A = this chain, B = another copy of it.
Amino acid sequence: MTANPALADVARRAGVSTATASRVLSGRGPSSATSRDAVRQAAIDLGYVPHPVARRLARQSGTRIVFAVRDERADILRDPFVTRAASAMAAATEPEGLGTALLRLPLHATAELERLAADRSVAALVLAGHDRDLVRGLPAGLRGRTGMIGAGGSDVDSAAGVGALIRQLHRTGRRRIALVAGPRWLAASRAPLAAYARLMREAGLPVRVVHGDFTTARGRAAAREIRRRWPGTDAIATVSDAMALGVLQALAADGVRVPDDVAVTGFDDSPIADVVHPGLTSATHPVELIAISAVQAALGVPAAGRLFPSRPVLRRSCGSSP
């Protein structure tokens, strides 16, 4: 066979104009049943495949979605959450003829966002790690084609997930429960923190919070800070397995027994939770589904719902009370 047939070839064979062929094959604009059939048949006969780049140029639409992750850590693009989400997007964009690009944004990223808004290769933007200011300052050109992961966008129901773990701790006799929350600059930190605080207050228990940054190192420091400030602590809940791992490490190093002296819970149900000693109680985090949902939102696909359930997974780190 010859080279790739173009729309003009299909039109000629179907005996119609390229305009009509375009309308039929792109599904945009009116067309009679007659011409519709003729064009479709001709396309099949010729093995016609539209040229994605030409199509996007004509439509002014862009050829890639950009996943921009706002974070203070320079190595955030190697974080498992990010790599999982980015890969899910790369897989989801494949059948669309699109691609995915990945980018770190510093906490103040006005200039980068302006650049992305001006870049005509960008079909849509997916934002993670945002706060209110970032969303408010979004360039006008990006509104309507931006999806978000986290607060206000596609997210795990971390309030419910963390809440379930807190309740589990309470049910098994823990009363001095501290929380290692997410960073202050992150909008998504708010929901699980609020859920924790509400439950503790309802139970008449003290609210004890330390802020972390999702790293194991910070988890270690947080555990020590908690034990120093609130010596009676009998449980430490966290909002990520990485931080929970740090907590476990610090407690082990300091001779504190888990779960006998202190119970620990994580979040994400990562492979590490299953492998660490003792096994880490955690809650599931469907990162891939969330990422795909955010891509769809960015591309304007109407949402079925963007809050994804989290299921607790009990392991030894939160056994019964002392």
Q: Which residues does A use to contact B, with CB under 8 Å?
A: 4, 49, 51-54, 56-57, 62-67, 77-78, 80, 82-84, 86-91, 93-94, 97-103, 118-121, 245, 271-272, 275-277, 288
Contacts and interface: CB of A to CB of B under 8 A. Distances in A.
A99 B98 contact: yes
A73 to B, nearest CB: 14
Contact of A288 (B78, B84, B89, B103): B78
Contacts of A84: 78, 83
A84 B53 CA distance: 28
Q: What is the oligomeric copy number? A: 2
A102 to B, nearest CB: 4
A49 B119 CA distance: 8
Given A4-B118, A288-B78, A94 B83 contact: no
**Residue among A66, A67, A102 facing the most chain B CB atoms (10 A cut-off):** A102
Nearest to A99: B99
**Residue among A49, A57, A67, A83 facing the most chain B CB atoms (10 A cut-off):** A83
Nearest to A84: B83
B87 A82 contact: yes
A63 B121 contact: yes
Nearest to A101: B94
Q: Decide if the interface of chain A is mainly helix, strand, loop or mixed.
A: helix
Contacts of A101: 90-91, 93-94, 98-100
A102 B98 contact: no
A120 B3 CA distance: 12
Contact of A119 (B52, B271, B277): B52
22 contacts: A49-B118, A51-B57, A53-B57, A53-B121, A54-B57, A56-B63, A63-B63, A63-B99, A64-B99, A65-B99, A67-B90, A78-B87, A82-B87, A86-B87, A90-B99, A90-B101, A91-B103, A93-B99, A94-B103, A99-B99, A245-B275, A275-B275
Contacts of A63: 52-53, 56, 63-64, 99, 121
A4 B100 contact: no
Nearest to A121: B52
A214 B233 CA distance: 41
Nearest to A82: B87
Contacts of A65: 99
- 5 shortest A-B CB distances, which residue pairs? A99-B99, A64-B99, A90-B102, A94-B101, A52-B121
A134 to B, nearest CB: 19
A149 to B, nearest CB: 15
Contacts of A54: 57
A53 B120 contact: yes
Contacts of A62: 53
Contacts of A93: 99, 101
A77 B86 CA distance: 11
Nearest to A97: B121
**Residue among A57, A67, A87, A119 facing the most chain B CB atoms (10 A cut-off):** A87
